[in-house]
Structure formats: structure tokens, C-alpha cells
């Protein structure tokens, strides 16, 4: 009887080992998937925070006729792909503006982030800007942002239009200066956005 039980135990040992290996592999795969998802969430939270910072600085530049200097530094994981899109678009549909900005308007500015390589990597923020805000490039001054500052161009800054698809169709990581150059009494804001990688 003992010999029979011993033979039965030896026969079932490979099967038990096989089941243990399958369970271990499953646990590793699930753990890795969960870790990837957590990393994606951390990354997307970083993008959301940086988009809010960009939005706030741009809105304050327009509303207060001020100059703002800030960095845009979301995590590399979200911006390492050449397929990443980060842009500001002027929407010209009333229903689109109502959906994005929660108020009806014939046109509105929307900041959009998209990365096809990360699950659920799509974010949009409505910019509270007057519809006739103009982003300039050629007529932007190249002097510094304050008293005694060096010229912007010699500091490595370039004037960009964040709404123009020709400017790489994206906002990229780097340093930004937003400057309101509207003359006193001007109804429609004229904004210069300077970028340095």
C-alpha cells in the first residue's frame, strides 16, 4: 500500500509543478500589467497637471496683459513618441464648443493631448480666451521680458504660433514665455508665445 501511494505521489508531482508554473506565470503577467497601468496613470496625471499650468499662464497673459515665463515638463513616457500630439485648436462649431467648454459659443480654443501608444491617453482642456485672440510670430518683439533682460532670440527663444499646424502641430517640452503685446485699448488680444527646447 505504501509503495502504491509513493508511486501515485511521484506520478502527480510533474502535474502539480506544471500547474504551479502556470499560476506563477499568470501572477507575473497580471503584476506587470498592473504596474504598466499605474505608470500610465502617473504619466497622464503629469500631462494633465502641465496642461493646466500652460492653460493658466496663457489665460493670465491674455486677461491681465502680462508676461509669463514657465516650463512645460510632462513625463518623458508620454512625450517620447513621435506620434504624440499636443496642440491648441480654434474650434468653430457651436456644439463642439458647448461640449468642450460647457458654454455655447461660435468658436473656442481647445488644448488637446493625444498619444496612441498609451491607453486612454487623450486629454482636452478648454482655454478661456476671447475667440478673436491672435497668436503672432513675425511681429513679436525680440527684446527681453523685463528690465535688463537679454534679447529673447539670443537666449534661444523662438516665437511660435501654438495654433498653427506648420509649427510641428504640437506644443513640446521646454521653456515658454507668453507675452501680451496688445496696445492699450485694443479689443482683441495679440499674443506672442516664445519657445526654447
Asked if residue 116 has pLDDT above 80, the reply is yes
Model confidence at 161: pLDDT above 60: yes
Contacts (Cβ under 8 Å, ≥6 apart) of 159:
136, 137, 138, 140, 152, 192, 193, 194, 195
Of 31-40, 90-99, 154-163, the poorest mean pLDDT is in 31-40
To the nearest 10°, report the CA torsion of 188, 143, 193, 63: -40
pLDDT of the residue at 188: 85
Nearest to 130 by CA among 175, 184, 79, 191: 191
Q: How many domains does the chain have?
A: 1
Average pLDDT over residues 27-31: 69
Is position 122 within any domain? no
Model confidence, pTM: 0.77
**Looking at the DSSP assignment, which residues form a beta bridge with residue 86?**
113
| Beta carbons of 104 and 97 less than 8 angstroms apart | yes
With respect to residue 171, please indicate whether it lies within any of the assigned structural domains.
yes
Tens of pLDDT, residue by residue over 35-64, are 677 677 888 889 899 999 999 999 999 988
Lowest mean pLDDT among 61-70, 73-82, 178-187: 73-82
Containing structural domain, residue 54: 2-80+132-196
> Within a domain: residue 116?
no
69: Cα separation from own chain's centroid = 18
Amino acid at each position: 500500500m505504501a509503495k502504491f501511494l509513493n508511486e501515485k505521489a511521484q506520478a502527480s508531482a510533474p502535474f502539480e509543478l506544471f500547474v504551479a508554473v502556470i499560476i506563477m506565470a499568470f501572477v507575473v503577467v497580471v503584476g506587470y500589467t498592473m504596474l504598466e497601468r499605474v505608470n500610465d496613470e502617473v504619466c497622464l496625471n503629469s500631462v494633465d497637471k502641465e496642461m493646466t499650468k500652460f492653460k493658466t499662464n496663457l489665460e493670465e497673459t491674455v486677461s491681465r496683459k502680462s508676461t509669463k515665463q514657465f516650463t512645460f515638463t510632462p513625463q518623458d513616457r508620454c512625450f517620447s513618441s513621435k506620434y504624440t500630439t499636443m496642440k491648441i485648436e480654434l474650434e468653430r462649431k457651436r456644439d463642439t464648443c458647448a461640449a468642450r467648454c460647457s458654454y455655447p459659443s461660435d468658436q473656442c480654443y481647445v488644448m488637446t493631448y493625444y498619444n496612441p501608444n498609451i491607453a486612454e491617453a487623450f486629454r482636452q482642456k478648454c482655454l478661456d480666451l476671447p475667440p478673436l485672440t491672435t497668436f503672432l510670430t513675425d511681429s513679436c518683439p525680440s527684446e527681453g521680458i523685463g528690465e535688463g533682460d537679454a534679447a529673447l532670440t539670443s537666449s534661444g527663444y523662438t516665437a511660435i504660433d501654438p495654433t498653427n499646424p506648420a509649427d510641428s502641430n504640437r506644443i513640446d517640452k521646454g521653456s515658454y514665455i507668453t507675452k501680451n503685446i496688445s496696445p492699450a485699448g485694443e479689443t482683441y488680444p495679440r499674443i506672442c508665445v516664445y519657445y526654447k527646447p
